[in-house]
Amino acid sequence: MSVTTEVPSQALIGGRWVDGSGGTFEVRSPHSREVVNVVSRCDASDVDRAVAAARAAQPEWAAMPLIDRVKILRRINQIFVERAEPIARMVSLEIGKTITDAREEVYEYAAPSYEKAGAEVLRHRGLSFPSTQEQTNNKRLVMTHRPLGVVGAITPYNFPTDISSIALAHIIAAGNTAVWKPSEFSPTCCAMVAELFDEAGLPPGVVNVVQGFGDVGAAIVDHDDVDGIFFTGSTATGEKIGSSAPLKPQLLELGGDGPFIILADADIDAAVEGAMNGCFYYTGQVCTSAAAAAGEASRPLAPPSRAGARRPWWLLHHDTGRAKRPAPPTLPDADYRYGPIAVRRRRRPRPRPRPLRQRRAVKARSTTSMGELPFEPFSIVSRVFCISAAN
């Protein structure tokens, strides 16, 4: 895949693409370490301008008839589908997903979010209750909903167009405006999504994009004119957001640790296939990744015919030589199950709690090159446990 020269590299503030005030930063592809884009970096002053633009646009956007807002959301979905292929290719280039997984994210998850949010807001209802303060039936209590105002959206790199589209679609469907900070590892594909909004008829200032690092996200969280926060990312950062803005409404989707439990009567072939897909999908960079496999102690660790085998019984059924190479960005992944690890700081597995008795650690390592496209070494650790009632 060649790097496209005409890709967005600026911030979107008040409907205009502008340079940030913090210089620039490079975005490199995890496939080859080549420079994908040089992006304009924002700082707190740019956040101030973006929040001001969002605040100015919010009353008129909220006052727009609901059906007109929904028509714009439907138009975003339509244009998104039409432009999905170059966005998917940029997702693959920036964060290392196979092109098939990138297409799945863009076509099946990200683009439909705007259509779904429009349908959901049309079905949204208030509530009516009888009054219990008087001995009469001629008084009712009515609960309705109104937009929160300006919402900060801080989104991750692993599903850059999907998670951000879920957030943005529902934020603006309800009549709010947004200040969006994409991950610094996937700014270009997110900016390509933001380019669709103007063509779809979204008024200037309804969605603003500020690019940069953690200081930009912190400026959004701490801003007095930001009324709510959407954040998907690490638990540590989520805890900081919760403590620094405790009175703001927050939706925090934080890291997870998904044990995969194989029971004694399981179909082993199906269980192993599910465990491997759950562990190695997008090289394990998923909050619901199957980080640990556990089996019942009542099941022998090896079949009788392989009683001397030292490997856990469920791994004996797995063809470990199948599709264990990282994928170049444009190859269909029929022969390539995953790409390179996207974020360099996550190459070393982070410590995890150990609630179960550890039996064996299996480490898969691969270093390879294809043609003139080099790949860096990577390692993935899959921990295998055994459940024992006695322990």
pLDDT tens, residue by residue, 175-206? 999 999 999 999 999 999 999 999 999 999 99
pLDDT reported for residue 20: 97
Answer with the residue of higher pLDDT: 256 or 29: 29
pLDDT at residue 93 greater than cutoff 80: yes
- Cross-strand partners of 207: 178
pLDDT reported for residue 3: 46
Radius of gyration of the chain (CA): 24
Residue 330 binned pLDDT confidence (cut-offs 50, 70, 90):
low
- In words, the CATH class of domain 11-253 is alpha beta
Average pLDDT estimate for 353-372: 34
pLDDT at residue 320 greater than cutoff 50: no
DSSP labels, 187-245: HHHHHHHHHHHHHHTPPTTSEEE---SHHHHHHHHH-TT--EEEEES-HHHHHHHHHHS
Asked if residues 91 and 97 have their Cβ atoms less than 8 Å apart, the reply is: yes
- Does the predicted TM-score (pTM) go above 0.85? no
Query: So which residues are the catalytic ones?
Result: 253, 287
Give helix then strand counts, H and E, for the chain: 10, 17
Residue 323 binned pLDDT confidence (cut-offs 50, 70, 90):
very low
The token duo for 83 is 């432009």
Answer with the residue of higher pLDDT: 291 or 314: 291
- Counting residues of the chain whose pLDDT is more than 70, the rounded percentage is 75
Asked if residues 385 and 356 have their Cβ atoms less than 8 Å apart, the reply is: yes
pLDDT tens digits, one per residue of 220-270:
999 999 999 999 999 999 999 999 999 999 999 987 777 777 787 888 778
The token duo for 299 is 């099941």
Residue 298 binned pLDDT confidence (cut-offs 50, 70, 90):
low
Average pLDDT estimate for 108-136: 90
Most confident of 118-132, 307-321, 348-362, 375-389: 118-132
Distance CA 153, CA 208 (A): 10
Q: Is 29 exposed, middle or buried (0-12, 13-18, 19+ CB in 10 A)?
A: buried
The token duo for 271 is 């269980």
Residue 109's φ and ψ, nearest 5 degrees, are -115, -55
**CB under 8 Å to 322, separation ≥6 — which residues?**
337
pLDDT reported for residue 337: 63
Residue 118 binned pLDDT confidence (cut-offs 50, 70, 90):
very high
pLDDT at residue 138 greater than cutoff 90: no
Q: Which of 69-73, 292-296, 357-361, 365-369 has the lowest mean pLDDT?
A: 365-369
Residue 156 binned pLDDT confidence (cut-offs 50, 70, 90):
very high
Return the number of other C-beta atoms located less than 10 Å from residue 361's C-beta.
10
Domain boundaries, the chain: 11-253, 258-387
pLDDT at residue 9 greater than cutoff 90: yes
Most confident of 1-10, 93-102, 111-120, 135-144: 111-120
Answer with the residue of higher pLDDT: 3 or 31: 31
Answer with the residue of higher pLDDT: 8 or 310: 8
pLDDT tens digits, one per residue of 96-107:
998 989 999 999
Residue 312 binned pLDDT confidence (cut-offs 50, 70, 90):
very low
* Mean of pLDDT over the chain: 80
Task: State the amino acid at position 170 in one-letter form.
Answer: H
pLDDT tens digits, one per residue of 200-226:
999 999 999 999 999 999 999 999 999
Residue 362 binned pLDDT confidence (cut-offs 50, 70, 90):
very low
Residue 313 binned pLDDT confidence (cut-offs 50, 70, 90):
very low
The token duo for 163 is 């998670």
Distance CA 382, CA 334 (A): 23
Residue 5 binned pLDDT confidence (cut-offs 50, 70, 90):
low
Asked if residues 174 and 151 have their Cβ atoms less than 8 Å apart, the reply is: no
